Structure 1
Amino acid sequence: MELRSRALYCSFCAVAVLLCSSLVFAGDIVHQDDVAPKRPGCDNNFVLVKVPIWVDGEEITEFVGVGARFGLTLESKEKRANQIRVSLADPPDCCSVPKNKLTGEAILVHRGKCSFITKANVAEAAGASALLIINNQTELFKMVCEANETDVIVGIPVVMLPKDAGKSLKLSMSNSSNVSIQMYSPHRPLVDVAEVFLWLMAVGTILCASYWSAWSAREASIEQDKLLKDGSDEYLSKETQHSSGVVDINILSAICFIMIASCFLLMLYKFMSHLFIEILVVLFCIGGVEGLQTCLVALLSCFRWFEPAAECHIKVPFLGAVSYLTLAVSPLCISFAVLWAVYRGVSFAWIGQDILGIALIITVLQIIRVPNLKVGTVLLGCAFMYDIFWVFVSKWFFHKSVMIVVARGDGSGEDGIPMLLKIPRMFDPWGGYSIIGFGDIILPGLLVAFSLRYDWLCKKSLKAGYFLWAMLAYGLGLLVTYVALNLMDGHGQPALLYIVPFTLGTLITLGKTRGDLKHLWIRGEPSGRFCPHVRLHSDEKQPSKM
């Protein structure tokens, strides 16, 4: 059993460097541009714009563009948006008067050679009813007014399309003379149901993992109480900890974890590709299979019909003693992970990803433990700085947010790394997913699980203990993260920026107020106890000095 837990721990370390992905954007695909401030005539909000393409009266596709800081604002309802015929500009840059006659058409132009305002003024003067600017890159750019353009009066809507959308639209126009578009910008709901469910998933995962961790610690302590009559305390405590398959992290490993995570994140940013994503998928499947198998075995063992299979073991090469129940559920877990990997591109694949992810998170929180508040403070403090640096500060060095680029999977041809819980935004007209990184659940979850083990060790009630308040603090911190995400118009937010102060601050403040901070900080246990996993029921013999 010790060998198996160490193997799981090593596989966790291989995957753990990916787990600190922050809670990221709600669909923003536009470069930020804060150089030019708002001013009269150039004070529109940047909005994403839906551009359906109609060929010979039939809608064939739809592109997404971004509205300019200037020009007319667009309708928010599709039924109110008129169809407009599209024409190519001649010259293509629209920096001079077009040679072709325009009578209310939307004119398609290329970016470059003159300012956006110049293009808009020329197009409007030539009789165009709208201006579509094709970007010279695959991404979008926020169109602002130049610093020397003081009087800005543009009476037509101006929208930028990505490079590939422009190519596709020009191809349609070459094959048919009757190509038209619609342009409208639907509003996002203030709160999407997906965010509510994702919040419940994160909080529920920590809740389940914490009770499982505390229950396992209590069972281990009960067993050791029986063995204390025949052996020394120190020897038996060490043997019990090893046999229980639990690994307590220390300060050095907590710091090393963050450093390795930073190196791996930077490597992903530099070498992100389709092949790299495939490797991450394989690692995720390995961890997911182990997690799903562990959770299923533990769940089925609670039923008396499966007890014989759970208690009977057989020796397996390289794995040691494995129960018959584990052997029975392993093919099911492997098949589930393989099916998800093969069909992860389908619309409902997020369900399989979340099942594997939650099982992995619960298993990690069951095996990896924080022994005291000091280690928890170092771990979360480093993770706090890690999240802020790679989401915000990294822009100064790499010109992009490294964390968001990696989580989004730029350059990989896929939707991002699989080490995320995700739910599709159900009532958002722009679609997409609300996501949260494993690290935003695992790292604070280690501290929350520690608080419940401490409460059970000290025989504290739910109200007088620390778990209830730690759980509420985590839920509130995650809620504040979603509020900030919506206030920031969908721009990526490091969840640990809000979660760490809430959870860690609550435990430290409450411990100091109650006079337990010294025990929480150094020992993680009340006075007179050797280990938080040992002698849980010896209070009758050795009363706690709290």
Structure 2
Amino acid sequence: MKRLMELRNRALYCSFCAVALLLCSTLVFAGDIVHQDDVAPKRPGCDNNFVLVKVPIWVDGEEITEFVGVGARFGLTLESKEKRANQIRVSLADPPDCCSVPKNKLTGEAILVHRGKCSFITKANVAEAAGASALLIINNQTELFKMVCEANETDVIVGIPVVMLPKDAGKSLKLSMSNSSNVSIQMYSPHRPLVDVAEVFLWLMAVGTILCASYWSAWSAREASIEQDKLLKDGSDEFLSKEIRHSSGIVDINILSAICFIVIASCFLLMLYKFMSHLFIEILVVLFCIGGVEGLQTCLVSLLSCFRWFEPAAECHVKVPFLGTVSYLTLAVSPLCISFAVLWAVYRHVSFAWIGQDILGIALIVTVLQIIRVPNLKVGTVLLGCAFLYDIFWVFISKWFFHKSVMIVVARGDGSGEDGIPMLLKIPRMFDPWGGYSIIGFGDIILPGLLVAFSLRYDWLCKKGLKAGYFLWAMLAYGLGLLVTYVALNLMDGHGQPALLYIVPFTLGTLIALGKTRGDLKHLWIRGEPDCRSCAHVRLHSDEKQPSKM
């Protein structure tokens, strides 16, 4: 049975570790926006802040849909309240690019134009001179474009609001205008709160997940150490003590495997970027459900086994085809876990499906952190260092090679018809008028969580107190690093940020600096165990060899 558990745990580890590394960025999006601020900086008359703009569409006095655009660097600023925004009738430009005086008369109407040969400023000046009260420019691509002033344009004075809509929104609006002669719009830009409650709950969720997983991992390590002490005290061979650890299903990663994980994750990420489709998302959903079922089952069985009412069911086993020997408790829990995952997969598009996704995701993360262990600080440094570079490359540097951020495109699920891939914890933004979700990738919890769990195992084996140990400071460092990530996210106007860019220096730097100060760095770096004088099972082994020193 133990051998079966080991193989099953190793399969879980191999299947999901690379996938968990797939998303290592905390990402919050309001849309993909292209900009040219580097070639056209702010100057008088062209110094508006870029804002997202809500554009409700009214047909024959009834609101039918709402689009999201982006305001220009120039022009009149928009109202922030919907009730203060006036309804404006929309007309098509003639010519469509509005690079010359329109043939149709505009009396306070909003004019809908296409991107053409002339500049945005020229379009705005022509539309304003013709009597238009607003200018809507349809982009020639699906994303939004930040409209700036060109370098040779000076003394910019535009007295009407200018907003860009994505290509699909413009197409839909034109279709509505062709079917009805009475189409009007509103334009307003509500302010986004500096901090949303969703970010607070997501921070607590991530920190709490690592906290629970770390204590479970340390408790398992202490139980294994006690069992090993008993064998050594009885004079058992050292090989038996190693076999206990090996058969427990725990996997200690090494430097080579840490590097391989990053390489595999990069290849998988690039494959998803190139071949992203609805089918790929469905495959990821199936993989996520399998891992979620395994994680939820493991967590529930371990939790219920702590109660004496379930001890008989946990200790009695039966052979099951294709599965081998399993406990009665596992057989009772498994159908519930499978049903829960299937229900989430079927109804994952409903508004409250994020709850099921978070439950499955947390169970999977906790189980992975209990199975996979960092043996010493050297391996942890290599793993987090590689993940640190991985995160930065695929969020920022990949734009230079692929013209888009690969990590952002994959996380958002572009081209798949889905809201994003399931390997995320997410909470809807509750007080944000723009809606959306605050999300965090599994990698941002699993990777630093491995190091935090290692620090708690070290403290327990060394019998260190909370303040004198490393776990408390590692947890504080992780929480602070994640907090800084959200601060940077808000300062960057909601654009995706690589979370490990902030989390890794905080957690890894804290452990290295603290270990150096306390003189434990050598043991943390190489052995991953306390000094022989304070490690119980090593002391017992030493005492047996030298009884005269007792």
> Shared topology, TM-score over 0.5?
yes
Q: Find the residue that maps to 1:429 and give its secondary structure.
A: coil
Shift in alpha-carbon separation, 1:347–1:185, aligned structure 2, 3 A? same
Deviations 1:524-544 (A, max 9, x none): 112338999988999999999
Residues 92 and 111 in structure 2, CA contact (< 8 A), matched pair in contact too? yes
Take 1:311 and 1:19, find their aligned partners in 2: how far apart are those partners?
38
Deviations 1:44-85 (A, max 9, x none): 111100001111111111110110111001001111111111
Residues 527 and 544 in structure 1, CA contact (< 8 A), matched pair in contact too? no
What is the CA distance between 1:27 and its match in structure 2? 5.1
Shift in alpha-carbon separation, 1:533–1:414, aligned structure 2, 3 A? farther
Deviations 1:339-364 (A, max 9, x none): 11111111111111100000000000
Deviations 1:205-238 (A, max 9, x none): 0000000000111111222222224454521221
Residues 222 and 537 in structure 1, CA contact (< 8 A), matched pair in contact too? no
Shift in alpha-carbon separation, 1:222–1:435, aligned structure 2, 3 A? same
Take 1:160 and 1:517, find their aligned partners in 2: how far apart are those partners?
56
What is the CA distance between 1:314 and its match in structure 2? 1.6
Take 1:190 and 1:45, find their aligned partners in 2: how far apart are those partners?
16
Counterpart check, 1:366 vs 2:349 = no
Residues 215 and 456 in structure 2, CA contact (< 8 A), matched pair in contact too? yes
Residues 370 and 447 in structure 1, CA contact (< 8 A), matched pair in contact too? yes
Q: Find the residue that maps to 2:548 and give its secondary structure.
A: coil
Take 1:540 and 1:181, find their aligned partners in 2: how far apart are those partners?
86
What is the CA distance between 1:19 and its match in structure 2? 4.4
Residues 291 and 359 in structure 1, CA contact (< 8 A), matched pair in contact too? yes
Segment of structure 1 superposing worse, 247-256 or 144-153: 144-153
Deviations 1:244-273 (A, max 9, x none): 210000111111111111111111111111
Take 2:381 and 2:316, find their aligned partners in 1: how far apart are those partners?
41
What is the CA distance between 1:169 and its match in structure 2? 1.2
Residues 461 and 536 in structure 2, CA contact (< 8 A), matched pair in contact too? yes
Shift in alpha-carbon separation, 1:544–1:498, aligned structure 2, 3 A? farther
Residues 395 and 406 in structure 2, CA contact (< 8 A), matched pair in contact too? yes
* Normalised TM-score (structure 2): 0.95
Q: Find the residue that maps to 1:536 and give its secondary structure.
A: helix
Q: Find the residue that maps to 2:537 and give its secondary structure.
A: coil
What is the CA distance between 1:165 and its match in structure 2? 1.1
Shift in alpha-carbon separation, 1:116–1:215, aligned structure 2, 3 A? same
Q: Find the residue that maps to 1:533 and give its secondary structure.
A: helix
Q: Find the residue that maps to 2:12 and give its secondary structure.
A: helix
Q: Which residue of 1 aligns with 2:142?
A: 138
Q: Which residue of 1 aligns with 2:537?
A: 533
* Pairing of 1:260-409 with structure 2 (within 5 A): 260-409=264-413
Residues 138 and 164 in structure 1, CA contact (< 8 A), matched pair in contact too? yes
Aligned identity (percent) is 96
Residues 25 and 497 in structure 2, CA contact (< 8 A), matched pair in contact too? no
Shift in alpha-carbon separation, 1:116–1:545, aligned structure 2, 3 A? farther
Take 2:541 and 2:85, find their aligned partners in 1: how far apart are those partners?
71
What is the CA distance between 1:459 and its match in structure 2? 0.2
Shift in alpha-carbon separation, 1:480–1:290, aligned structure 2, 3 A? same
What is the CA distance between 1:21 and its match in structure 2? 4.2
Take 2:234 and 2:537, find their aligned partners in 1: how far apart are those partners?
18
Q: Find the residue that maps to 2:126 and give its secondary structure.
A: helix
Shift in alpha-carbon separation, 1:118–1:529, aligned structure 2, 3 A? same
Residues 454 and 532 in structure 1, CA contact (< 8 A), matched pair in contact too? no
Take 1:375 and 1:210, find their aligned partners in 2: how far apart are those partners?
18
Shift in alpha-carbon separation, 1:409–1:277, aligned structure 2, 3 A? same
Take 1:329 and 1:196, find their aligned partners in 2: how far apart are those partners?
32
Shift in alpha-carbon separation, 1:462–1:235, aligned structure 2, 3 A? same
Take 1:358 and 1:532, find their aligned partners in 2: how far apart are those partners?
33
Shift in alpha-carbon separation, 1:476–1:409, aligned structure 2, 3 A? same
Shift in alpha-carbon separation, 1:448–1:535, aligned structure 2, 3 A? farther
Segment of structure 1 superposing worse, 123-132 or 54-63: 54-63
Shift in alpha-carbon separation, 1:287–1:535, aligned structure 2, 3 A? farther
Segment of structure 1 superposing worse, 426-435 or 89-98: 89-98
Residues 387 and 496 in structure 1, CA contact (< 8 A), matched pair in contact too? yes
What is the CA distance between 1:24 and its match in structure 2? 4.5
Shift in alpha-carbon separation, 1:30–1:269, aligned structure 2, 3 A? same
Shift in alpha-carbon separation, 1:134–1:542, aligned structure 2, 3 A? farther
Take 2:117 and 2:250, find their aligned partners in 1: how far apart are those partners?
64
Take 2:534 and 2:291, find their aligned partners in 1: how far apart are those partners?
33
* Root-mean-square deviation (Å): 2.5
Take 1:187 and 1:531, find their aligned partners in 2: how far apart are those partners?
57
What is the CA distance between 1:98 and its match in structure 2? 0.8
Take 1:449 and 1:26, find their aligned partners in 2: how far apart are those partners?
35
Shift in alpha-carbon separation, 1:532–1:383, aligned structure 2, 3 A? farther
Take 2:536 and 2:230, find their aligned partners in 1: how far apart are those partners?
17
Gaps of 5+ in 2: none
What is the CA distance between 1:11 and its match in structure 2? 2.6
Residues 427 and 437 in structure 2, CA contact (< 8 A), matched pair in contact too? yes
Residues 55 and 188 in structure 2, CA contact (< 8 A), matched pair in contact too? yes
Aligned length: 546
Residues 237 and 534 in structure 1, CA contact (< 8 A), matched pair in contact too? no
What is the CA distance between 1:413 and its match in structure 2? 1.2
Residues 35 and 147 in structure 2, CA contact (< 8 A), matched pair in contact too? no
What is the CA distance between 1:171 and its match in structure 2? 1.6
Shift in alpha-carbon separation, 1:211–1:15, aligned structure 2, 3 A? same
Residues 224 and 535 in structure 1, CA contact (< 8 A), matched pair in contact too? no
Q: Which residue of 2 aligns with 1:35?
A: 39
Deviations 1:147-172 (A, max 9, x none): 21112111100001111111111121
Shift in alpha-carbon separation, 1:20–1:538, aligned structure 2, 3 A? farther
Q: Find the residue that maps to 2:199 and give its secondary structure.
A: helix
* Normalised TM-score (structure 1): 0.96
Gaps of 5+ in 1: none
Residues 249 and 371 in structure 1, CA contact (< 8 A), matched pair in contact too? yes
